[in-house]
Amino acid sequence: MILTRPVAAAALLAAALLLGGCGSPAEKTTETGGGAPVKGGSVVFAVDTEPVSFDAHVSSQDITGTILRNVFDSLVSQDAEGEFQPWLAESWEVSDDLKTYTFKLRKDVKFTDGTPFDAEAVKVNFDRIHDPKTKSQLAASLLGPYTGTEVVDASTAKVSFSAPFAPFLQAASTAYLGFYSPKTIKENGDKLGAGGPAAVGTGPFVFSAYAKGQSADFTRNDAYAWAPKGAANTGAPYLDKLTVRFLPESSVRVGALTSGQIQLAAAVPPQDVQGVTGNAKLALDTQEFPGGNYSLYLNTSKPPLNDEKVRKAVQQGVNVDAGVKSLYFGQYKRAWSPLSPATEGYTNKLENSWPYDEAAANKLLDEAGWTTKDGDGYRTKDGKRLTINWPLLPAAYVKDKRDILGQAFQADLKKLGIEVQRPQDDIGTYIANVYGGKADIADYSWARSEPDVLWLLFNGASDPRKGGQNATFLADKDLTSWTDEGRATLDPAKRADVYGKVQERAIELGLVIPVYTPTAVIGRAKAVNGVAYDANAWPLFQGAWLAK
C-alpha cells in the first residue's frame, strides 16, 4: 500500500556489490558488550507506523515485512557479503535458462502449530500469493512470471517461471515470500491480515497477541533450530518476549526510549538524534537503505524540461549539499547517484561530479534561450515565463520534511530566474498529474535490496501511465537495453557494467537529481545486544539478548 518504499524483488549476485567499493547491503550485528548472551528478558521496540494489513502476501508496507520477519523464515538468506545462504532450503539449483529453481528443503522444520514444513507448504504459499484473489500488492510482483510449484517429493520443490527470472533468489529471501502454515491458510486465510496468533510461521518467534492501535507481542519459539547459515545464534532466540509498540509521534518514541520505558525506537528523526547520542545508556544504529535514493525525477516529455540544457541547469542549480546538511543535521548522506551506496552495483564515479554551480546553471539557461526577464525577475522566452510544476504530496504522505527541503530548492531556483510552483492537492489529483505526465518534477525514494530498481526507475517500459515508476517519461534506448540486460543475467561483471552505465547516463542526461540516501536510524538501549540488520536495513531479533 501507500506509505511505503516497497522493498521489492530482485536479483542476486553477491559479487557485484564489491564493485566500486560500495558498502555492503547485508547483515550487520550490534556489539555484544563483551559478555556472553544471556537467556530471558523482554524487549519493547517502538515503531512509527502500524501495518494496515499483517498479511505478508498482501501488504507492500515495509513495516509489515519488518515485523513479520520475526515469525517467518525464507528459503534462502542474504548474508553480509550479499551471497545467498541456505535457510529453509539446504541447497538449490537454477536451470540454465533461469526459468526453473529447484529447492532441497530441510526436513526438520516445523510450523509453530506443529505441522511440518515441506514442499507442499511452499506450493500452497506461492500459489496463494500468485492468485489474483489474494490481491497481493507486492509479493505477487516478487514472484514475477510465476507459473507454478511442483512438489517433486516432500523435501523437493521445483518453482517454475514462464520467462528467465534472475531476481527470484533475492525475492525468496524476503519476508513477503515467507511461509504460513498451510493449515492456517486453510482455516484463517481471510483473517491473516488481522495479525495475531493466526499468523503461524516457522520463525524464531510466535505472534502471540495483537492489540490494534497499540502493540504486537512475540514470544520465543522454543523449538527453533533452523537459523540461516552464518547466524550468530543457531538455536531458539534468547529473549522471552518481543513487543512491537506503535508510537507514531517521534518525540514520544524518543522520550520513552530515554526514560527507559522501551529498549529500541525506530525512525529517530535527525533533530532528536542528540537526545540519544548524549545518553550514556543509549546507542544509535544507523543503516543506509538500499535501492533508489531520494531523488527528483525530471519529466522530459514536455517543455521546459524536454530541453537537456534546462534540466542540467536545474541539476546544477540546486544546492543539494546545503539543503541536506542543514535540514538533517548531517544524519543523512547527500547522494550523487540515483542508486543508494548500500546497493550492489553502486558506482562511486559520480561522487562530486556535478557540484552546485550557480554560474554554470545560469550559462546553460542563457544558451537554452531563456535570456529575457519579466517584472518579477523570472526568465522568459518568447514571452513565456520559465515555470516548473512540482506537486507536493498531501501532508500525510510527506516524510523526512521533504516539503521543507523542497522550499530550499525552490529558493535556489528562484535565484536562477526559474519559478517553481508547488501545488498541494489531494492524493487523487497528485497521482493523476504526476503519474499522468502533467507535472514537471516527481520526487521519491524506493527501497529495494537490488540494482534492478534502476529498471523500475529508468526503463522505457516502466511508464507511470501504465503502472511503472519511470517519472522521467523517457524511453532512452541505452537505459532501456542496459536495465533489461541487468535483469536477465547472473554474470556479476556484466551486471556491474550495465548498472554503472545506467547511473552515469541518467545523471549525464539530467534526468534525475539525487538528493540523499534514506537511512534507518534506530535508537537502542545499550543493554540490548546482538540485534542484527539484514539487507533491507531491518532489525533482526533472533540473536538479540538483554544484558542483566
Q: How far is the CB of 316 from other proteins (least distance, A)?
A: 28
Q: Which three cell numbers stand for residue 243?
A: 513487543
Provide the pairing of β-strand 419-421 with 387-389: parallel
CA 122, chain centre distance (Å): 25
Nearer to other proteins, 257 or 531 (CB): 257
Provide the pairing of β-strand 205-211 with 215-220: antiparallel
Q: How far is the CB of 322 from other proteins (least distance, A)?
A: 28
Nearer to other proteins, 51 or 203 (CB): 51
Q: Is 419 helix (H, G, I), strand (E, B) or coil?
A: strand
Q: How far is the CB of 380 from other proteins (least distance, A)?
A: 31
Nearer to other proteins, 260 or 355 (CB): 260
Q: How far is the CB of 413 from other proteins (least distance, A)?
A: 24
Q: How far is the CB of 101 from other proteins (least distance, A)?
A: 21
CA neighbours within 13 Å on the CB side: how many for 109?
28
Using the CB atoms, write b or e for 74-111: b if 16+ within 10 Å.
bbbbbbbebbbbbbbbeebebeeebbbbbbbbbeebbb
Task: List the one residue out of 478, 445, 186, 226 whose CA is nearest residue 333.
Answer: 445
Q: How far is the CB of 131 from other proteins (least distance, A)?
A: 9
Nearer to other proteins, 443 or 476 (CB): 443
Nearer to other proteins, 70 or 469 (CB): 469
- Grid cell 540515483 is found at 338
Q: How far is the CB of 8 from other proteins (least distance, A)?
A: 6
How many angstroms separate the CA atoms of 373 and 391, rounded? 24
Q: Which residues bind other proteins (CB under 8 A)?
A: 1-6, 8, 44, 46, 50, 52-53, 55, 58, 60, 132-133, 135-138, 140-141, 190-194, 211-215, 245-249, 251-252, 255-256, 258-259, 261-262, 393, 396-397, 426-432, 434-435, 444, 446, 456, 467, 469
Q: How far is the CB of 339 from other proteins (least distance, A)?
A: 17
DSSP secondary structure string, 242-254?
EEEEE---HHHHH
Task: List the one residue out of 32, 27, 26, 28 whose CA is nearest residue 544.
Answer: 32
Nearer to other proteins, 242 or 393 (CB): 393
Nearer to other proteins, 192 or 535 (CB): 192
Task: List the one residue out of 232, 233, 236 whose CA is nearest residue 223.
Answer: 236
Q: Is 351 helix (H, G, I), strand (E, B) or coil?
A: coil
Nearer to other proteins, 108 or 249 (CB): 249
Query: Is the sign of the CA dihedral 314, 271, 540, 185 positive or negative?
Result: negative
